[in-house]
Chains A and B, each alone.
Chain A
């Protein structure tokens, strides 16, 4: 046999030989494949989470950028800044809270000037009411002098009553007298500055005999403030598989099921500076605590290592030493509360969307301050063993958190205000890089604080 046919026969012989040839694989091969399939699934999940995190952070960054840009440009678009001064009629009551001006109030030029210098509107109003009486007396004496009417006849008049502003409402005076009286009052209300303590940037001046001109003025110089706050926090965490390690059975789903978040707190102080009318930047120092607790069967989270017992938590492994015994039964329950404290340096922007409401955006530079945990093992007979630990191994010392919040500010005096600021803070990097799972703590908090303006 030569040529093509012999070659075909040769090939056919091989083909026939291997047609039904099988080699049974070792069991270990399936275990390896299964384990890798599991990891492939987890890696896919991690990729999705990473992608989602990237999308969320990008959106947050984009929104922050847009809001900051809007805030910076708001000065230009603010109609009060560019519009002509608003002209209002005498006696008009502006409806905005803390922005009420009556004709009689404005007429007290000296008092109002005083209020400008002291920045104390309420105090000025009290003085104003006292002065009303004196001015009424003065006008009364002028009236008596000019008209010759008797004092008792003037009792019915109400020249300077804050409720009834018009001095010419009396029926006892002549037109000439009225003119004279009007001159007296007009002198008092001639071109004045009125300081609105709330807005602090409005000018009110006489426009003509019957109206006033209100104009916002641009405040010069920077407002500097300090604020102190405290917040209850509910700390929790997002877990992802660490693709560098094979996922043990006690992994992510187990931690999510067994570990519970705890209510913690954060407290700090900030110093801020006004960059624009609606934009403040602030930074300071914040102490915060991330905490969780669990009670679970010991067998699921422990392993013996060279130094003793190794306990796995979602933040990483902990070396455990028992005070009352050398070992820990697999059947016992292990419970613990783990607190990890941080010092944070926030760098935040407060963007005022209305006069009293603001968005709070920024980052926290986070430094590990300490760890505190209590361990107890309880066997089925109810006997307790206490343990000591050295803290979570290889926990990261530094991290960066993203913070976003919404706040409301209420002025209680000219310089002092109170703040309520619900916010969300999330660590962008994992607590521990060499743990089987990666843990990203986040906290919901309601900050309550006070703010003091220095100028």
Chain B
């Protein structure tokens, strides 16, 4: 159900004034996209929904802080990513490797295989990555954060970020190959 907010600025202003209809509309506009992000960052569906709820609460709480020319989608994405990071930091299982040696080995691209898998299957593969790799890979490869931004958000060095990204790519390649082989056998 939409309530006729054509302009996102109006919608945000109404949300800031705690207009329930506006909140609902903002939710309906961005919830599917944000839930997709949450699923990529979370290990399980329950975690994804936790991040999703906390993220939207943060969004409504802090909407007035959004800058005038800032893209709301990009801003919301950062909020949800931050919530995901918080969840895993809270569980104290987000340890990031700092092994730059792995950067020397090349990772074979396997985009053809990737295209043969459904988004759901790929999401499952991403979810199976260790926390450290999953988060850095999502942030850099899919969501477009730079290594500098990642290093600041995760409080790690740029080298550590690169190292985890490399590991993530490598692990994903292997998982994609393995999944493809299983499919072929079937």
Contacts and interface: CB of A to CB of B under 8 A. Distances in A.
A228 B35 CA distance: 70
Interface of B is mostly: helix
A383 interface: no
B49 interface: yes
B119 A6 contact: no
B115 interface: yes
A23 B36 contact: yes
Interface in B99-143: 106-111, 114-115, 119, 122, 140-142
A37 B119 CA distance: 32
A37 B56 CA distance: 9
B146 interface: no
Contacts of A22: 32-33, 35-36
Contacts of B53: 29, 32-33, 36
A2 B50 CA distance: 39
B142 A25 contact: no
Interface in A1-52: 1-3, 6-7, 9-11, 13-15, 17-18, 21-25, 29-30, 32-34, 36-37, 40-41
A21 B57 contact: no
Contacts of A33: 27, 53, 56-57
B60 A23 contact: no
A2 B140 CA distance: 19
Nearest to A26: B49
Contacts of B141: 10-11, 14-15
With most chain B CB atoms within 10 A of its CB, the pick from A11, A14, A15, A17 is A14
Given A25-B32, A30-B24, A37-B57, A7 B169 contact: yes
Interface residues of B, number: 35
A157 to B, nearest CB: 93
Contacts of A23: 32, 35-36, 39
Contacts of B52: 25, 29
Contacts of A18: 36, 40, 119, 142
B69 to A, nearest CB: 22
A2 B106 contact: yes
Interface of A is mostly: helix
A21 B31 CA distance: 11
Interface in B37-89: 39-40, 49, 52-53, 56-57, 60-61
Contacts of A24: 31-32, 35
Contact of A10 (B49, B57, B169): B169
A17 B57 contact: no
B23 interface: yes
B36 A13 contact: no
Contacts of A9: 109, 111
B49 A29 contact: yes
Nearest to A1: B109
Contacts of B114: 10, 13-14, 17
Nearest to B56: A33
Given A17-B114, A18-B40, A33-B27, A41 B57 contact: no
B9 interface: no
A25 B27 CA distance: 10
Contacts of A1: 108-109
Contacts of A11: 140-142, 169
A30 B27 contact: yes
B57 A6 contact: no
Contact of A25 (B35, B57, B140, B144): B35
A10 B36 contact: no
Contacts of B23: 34, 37
A20 to B, nearest CB: 8
A454 to B, nearest CB: 62
B115 A13 contact: yes
A6 B111 CA distance: 9
B93 interface: no
B18 interface: yes
B111 A10 contact: yes
B180 to A, nearest CB: 14
Contacts of A37: 23, 57, 60
25 contacts: A1-B108, A2-B106, A6-B109, A7-B109, A7-B169, A10-B107, A11-B140, A11-B169, A14-B114, A14-B122, A14-B142, A22-B33, A22-B36, A23-B32, A23-B36, A24-B35, A29-B31, A29-B49, A29-B52, A33-B57, A34-B24, A36-B53, A36-B57, A37-B57, A41-B18
Chain A to chain B: the 6 pairs with minimum beta-carbon distance, closest first: A22-B32, A6-B109, A11-B141, A13-B111, A23-B35, A21-B36
